[in-house]
Amino acid sequence: MTVSVLIPVNDYDIVALVRSLRSGMEKVPEFCEIIIGDDGSSPEFRKKFKSLEDDRTRVIISAKNIGRAAIRNKLALEAKGDFLLFIDADVMLPATAEAYLTNWLPYLKPGKVICGGILYSQSKPGDPDKLLRWKYGRKKEQRKAADRNKNPNNYFSTYNVLIDRSVFSKLRFNDEIRQYGFEDILFGYQLMKAGIEVIHTDNELVHEGLETNAGFINKTKLGIENLSKLYDKVTDKKAFSSFVRMLKTYNLLSFFRLTLVLAGFFIRYRERMERRLDSSDASVKLFSFYRICMFCTYREIHRRRNIMPVF
């Protein structure tokens, strides 16, 4: 069994990461190649990526940004390995590359989808402008495999995942999703509908590329908009709602006729909440409330006008 390491990237320095992985591959021969998917990067970064090419490292280039789903599909088509290891560009290895790669070997079995997990630094970022992303990651995303395996498909993530090529040939990422947000959730849902189990293991990578508070809030808006669009497109809304926590909450609020109340609250107090979130006193609880209020707003405007609002 062989493994292709696939790294989608846009304007992010992955030189140290790729060199480390390339060195580890010398001792773990099952890993046959690294493919870098340059998704519309600037010439400066593209030059750096091209400098990494050798007999087992290559770069595929998309002249314009085609989106997280499409670039991953493109990488998979180029890969030679029996298994595909997708990792995000903004990661750091917690130990040696050899140890990280070796930890995947027991899972090289037909039909497997294995998520390795994500870690965040134990100490707060030195830049207070990145506190919200760090707090949210520590509270909501960093979970041990034992916890993730209680609801395995719900915790599917492309951040650090090993997928049998035969599985991926049946279920590709939805490349109609161009902007950030919830594409992982959709793929996990599709795996569940296809009867393909996701398994989680503690082979984490450290999330190093923290966005600023304002940047994370803006990406959240894109994600919430995506979720509202996805909800309209899926055929089995009941099953999809039971799969996504935010939709469960939204449906409960709908039952008690509270969605309009939260939408009104969001319109009136959005700027005040965003100022609080974009501060050294950022609260994860407030951020969760902000997200569901925003989703209620998107749903109400979309339902009434059949358009997506822009905040």
| Domain harbouring 24, CATH code | 3.90.550.10
Are residue 136 and residue 155 in the same domain, yes or no?
yes
The H or E element spanning position 233 is helix 213-233
Q: Which pLDDT score, from 0 to 100, does residue 226 have?
A: 86
Q: What is the pLDDT of residues 83-138, one digit of tens each?
A: 999 999 999 999 999 999 999 999 999 999 999 999 999 999 989 999 999 999 99
Q: Are strands 205-207 and 91-92 parallel, antiparallel or unpaired?
A: antiparallel
Q: For the purposes of burial, counting CB atoms within 10 Å of the CB of 61, is it exposed (0-12), middle (13-18) or buried (19 or more)?
A: middle
Residues of the chain with pLDDT under 50: 307-311
Residue 142 domain flag: yes
Are residue 72 and residue 198 in the same domain, yes or no?
yes
* Encoded tokens for 197: 């189990």
The H or E element spanning position 260 is helix 259-277
Q: Which pLDDT score, from 0 to 100, does residue 180 have?
A: 66
Are residue 166 and residue 288 in the same domain, yes or no?
no
> Which 8-state DSSP code applies to residue 95?
S
Q: What is the pLDDT of residues 24-60, one digit of tens each?
A: 999 999 999 999 999 999 999 999 999 999 999 999 9
Structural domains in the chain (count):
2
Q: Which pLDDT score, from 0 to 100, does residue 112 have?
A: 93
Are residue 238 and residue 200 in the same domain, yes or no?
no
Are residue 243 and residue 133 in the same domain, yes or no?
no
Pairwise CA distance, residues 118 & 203, whole Å: 8
The neighbouring-strand residues paired with 123 are: none
Pairwise CA distance, residues 134 & 142, whole Å: 10
Q: Which pLDDT score, from 0 to 100, does residue 174 have?
A: 80
Please check whether residue 273 is in contact with residue 290, taking contact to mean a CB–CB distance below 8 angstroms.
yes
Q: Which pLDDT score, from 0 to 100, does residue 56 have?
A: 97
Residue among 87, 78, 83 nearest 9 (CA): 87
Q: Which residue has the tokens 């997708």?
A: 86
Residue 57 domain flag: yes
Are residue 47 and residue 173 in the same domain, yes or no?
yes
Pairwise CA distance, residues 157 & 14, whole Å: 20
Pairwise CA distance, residues 72 & 6, whole Å: 8
Are residue 144 and residue 195 in the same domain, yes or no?
yes
Q: Which pLDDT score, from 0 to 100, does residue 194 have?
A: 93
Structural domain boundaries enclosing 287: 215-305
Residue 146 domain flag: yes
Residue 203 domain flag: yes
The mean of the pLDDT values for the chain is 93
Q: CB under 8 Å to 124, separation ≥6 — which residues?
A: 131, 134
Are residue 179 and residue 233 in the same domain, yes or no?
no
Report the Cα 265 to chain-centroid distance in Å.
29
User: Of 189, 210, 231, which residue is a domain's last?
Assistant: 210
